[in-house]
């Protein structure tokens, strides 16, 4: 097979170990693709081929320069399926649980996004921080202000990132200064869909914050938008905290459960992403699986706020689509490696063993599948968008010491998952372009 070129333009090649997934390693053999001495070939922002260096090197047209990352690992960029960019400046704010945390820190912080210049500045910092951590796609909550969404998509478009974001809809049980109305929330959301959904790499998520802060009419209109624009995303919170579950029950007494509130309004569907999902029952999980709705598991946030432990065993038994997420500002790190570390421990507390392979799957192809974006991002199948990262197993003295003493690929990846963080990310590429390179301070 020859590498097609049109005058050699836009052809790039990267040599390193190459890791990606074709399936969920928890349920399928041969789910993992690993090239110890690998080559990733990128053309015009898309993956052309990934394979063994010795097999592919002769297919490169003479004169193609090969970026040498030997000793490092190339894998698809991480995908964070639930994060709040306006909460960047309040990460690590202490409060005794979700509801006081929202009142004390979150709402006053989000108020500032009525100012477009402030939103611009935070959106730029946030995206650069994601790239520093190796995250190339995220599902992002903005604030109730349409300006906050404009700022975010502008900053994402400028970096040519594949991002999903939406305007928070909330018309009750929150401060007056953060309230839309059922009608204005739907109207502003629809205008943003028409402007931004599928413009370049940008994708829109209809974003009712959570059932307690939306009226019945707003929930109804959000559900109608979700039906009118079936290839948009939908994101919200559900069953995060026992006080919140009791509140939702009191507000929607006729619903079978908190998740059933969303179901009644037609919000369970492909491309719907539900944050947390800790306090669900088996009927809720069965409905998620049937409707191809997905979970964003947020372990650093859940431990930080004391919300609870996600039940991996029940979710897997019922074949619910899973992904991992930071949930910053309640989450305590932007790093998906730190997130894996805490996901591993949460799973252990529930009696489940998460392999490193599974965690790397969940943060790449698993997330892409949860978002119905397989074939676009998440692995290195030919034609996918070339969003990838370079991880350094020697990034810190301890990580180097440990990874030099591993006996298998699983052990190597496990050490990186448990000991890694932003320092482990050497470089990040989006659509074939380098968007971050770690500066060595030697």
Residue 145 touches ligand GUN, criterion: CB under 6 A: no
CA 412 to chain CA mean position, Å: 23
Task: Determine phi and psi for 196, rounding to 5 degrees.
Answer: -115, -25
Q: How far is the CB of 330 from Zn ion (least distance, A)?
A: 6
d(CA 335, CA 321): 21
What does the per-residue mask of binding to ligand GUN show for 193-222, with x meaning CB under 6 A? ----------------xx------------
Which C-beta is closer to Zn ion: that of 223 or that of 275? 275
| SS3 of residue 50 by DSSP | strand
DSSP assignment string, 38-97 = EEEEEETTEEEEEEEHHHHGGGSPTT--EEEEEEEEEEEPEEEEEEEGGGGGGSS---SS
Residue 159 touches ligand GUN, criterion: CB under 6 A: no
DSSP assignment string, 73-88 = EEEEPEEEEEEEGGGG
Residue 147 touches ligand GUN, criterion: CB under 6 A: no
d(CA 2, CA 13): 14
With residue 243 as reference, give the H or E element that holds it: helix 242-251
What is the CA angle 393-395-396, rounded to 5? 115
Q: How many helices (H) and strands (E) are present in the chain, helices listed first?
A: 17, 16
Query: CB count, 10 Å around CB of 219?
Result: 23
Q: How far is the CB of 325 from ligand GUN (least distance, A)?
A: 10
What does the per-residue mask of binding to Zn ion show for 295-334, with x meaning CB under 5 A? --------------------------------x-------
Q: How far is the CB of 276 from ligand GUN (least distance, A)?
A: 7
Site for ligand GUN in 4-33 (CB under 6 A): none
Q: How far is the CB of 14 from ligand GUN (least distance, A)?
A: 37
Which residues, including other chains, have CB under 8 Å from residue 328's CB and lie 6 or more apart?
83, 84, 87, 88, 91, 301, 334
What does the per-residue mask of binding to ligand GUN show for 292-331, with x meaning CB under 6 A? ---------x-------------------------x--x-
Question: Which one of 23-31, 98-106, 367-375, 434-442 is the stretch in contact with ligand GUN (CB under 6 A)?
Answer: 98-106
CA 174 to chain CA mean position, Å: 26
Query: Tokens 């922002």 label which residue?
Result: 45
Residue 171 touches ligand GUN, criterion: CB under 6 A: no
Which C-beta is closer to ligand GUN: that of 102 or that of 165? 102
Q: How far is the CB of 350 from ligand GUN (least distance, A)?
A: 20
Q: Token pair of 67, please?
A: 């970026």
Residue 276 CA: distances (Å) to CA of 192, 242, 247, 296: 26, 12, 16, 6
Q: How far is the CB of 129 from ligand GUN (least distance, A)?
A: 18
Q: How far is the CB of 84 from Zn ion (least distance, A)?
A: 6
Residue 240 interface partner, choices ligand GUN, Zn ion, none, CB cut-off 5-8 Å depending on type: ligand GUN
Question: Which one of 11-19, 69-77, 180-188, 275-283 is the stretch in contact with Zn ion (CB under 5 A)?
Answer: 275-283
Q: How far is the CB of 273 from Zn ion (least distance, A)?
A: 11
Residue 278 touches ligand GUN, criterion: CB under 6 A: no
d(CA 426, CA 415): 17
In the complex, the residues that contact ligand GUN under the rule CB under 6 A are 84, 98, 102, 106, 209-210, 237, 240, 301, 327, 330
In the complex, the residues that contact Zn ion under the rule CB under 5 A are 275, 327
């Amino acid at each position: 097979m020859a590498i097609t070129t049109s005058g050699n333009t836009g052809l790039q090649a990267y040599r390193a170990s190459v890791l990606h997934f074709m399936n969920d390693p928890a349920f399928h053999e041969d789910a993992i693709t690993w090239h110890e001495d690998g080559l990733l070939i990128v053309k015009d922002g898309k993956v052309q081929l990934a394979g063994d260096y010795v097999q592919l090197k002769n297919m490169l047209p003479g004169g193609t320069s090969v970026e040498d990352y030997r000793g490092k690992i190339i894998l698809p960029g991480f995908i964070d399926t639930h994060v709040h960019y306006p909460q960047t400046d309040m990460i690590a704010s202490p409060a005794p649980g979700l509801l006081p945390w929202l009142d004390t820190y979150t709402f006053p912080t989000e108020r500032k996004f009525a100012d477009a210049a402030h939103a611009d500045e935070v959106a730029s910092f946030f995206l650069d921080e994601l790239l520093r951590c190796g995250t190339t796609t995220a599902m992002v909550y903005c604030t109730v202000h349409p300006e906050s969404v404009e700022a975010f998509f502008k900053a994402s478009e400028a970096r040519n990132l594949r991002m999903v974001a939406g305007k928070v809809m909330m018309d009750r049980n929150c401060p007056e200064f953060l309230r839309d109305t059922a009608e204005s929330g739907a109207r502003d959301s629809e205008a943003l869909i028409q402007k931004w959904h599928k413009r370049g790499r940008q994708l829109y998520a209809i974003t009712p914050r959570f059932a307690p802060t939306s009226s019945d009419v707003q929930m109804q209109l959000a559900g109608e938008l979700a039906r009118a624009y079936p290839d948009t995303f939908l994101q919200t919170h559900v069953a995060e905290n026992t006080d919140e579950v009791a509140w939702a029950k009191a507000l929607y007494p006729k619903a079978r459960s908190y998740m059933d509130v969303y179901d009644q309004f037609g919000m369970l569907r492909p491309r719907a992403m539900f944050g947390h999902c800790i306090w669900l029952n088996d009927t809720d999980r069965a409905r998620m699986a049937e409707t191809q709705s997905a979970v964003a598991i947020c372990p650093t946030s859940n431990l930080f706020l004391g919300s609870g432990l996600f039940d991996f065993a029940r979710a897997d038994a019922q074949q619910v689509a899973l992904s991992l997420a930071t949930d910053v500002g309640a989450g305590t790190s932007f790093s998906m490696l730190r997130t894996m570390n805490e996901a591993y421990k949460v799973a252990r507390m529930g009696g489940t063993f998460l392999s490193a392979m599974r965690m790397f799957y969940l943060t790449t192809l698993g997330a892409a599948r949860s978002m119905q974006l397989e074939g676009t991002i998440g692995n290195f199948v030919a034609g996918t968008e070339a969003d990838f990262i370079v991880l350094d197993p020697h990034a810190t003295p301890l990580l180097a010491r440990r990874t030099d003493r591993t006996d298998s690929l699983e052990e190597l990846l496990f050490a990186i998952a448990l000991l890694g963080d932003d320092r482990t990310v050497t470089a990040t590429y989006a659509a074939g372009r380098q968007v971050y390179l770690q500066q060595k301070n030697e």
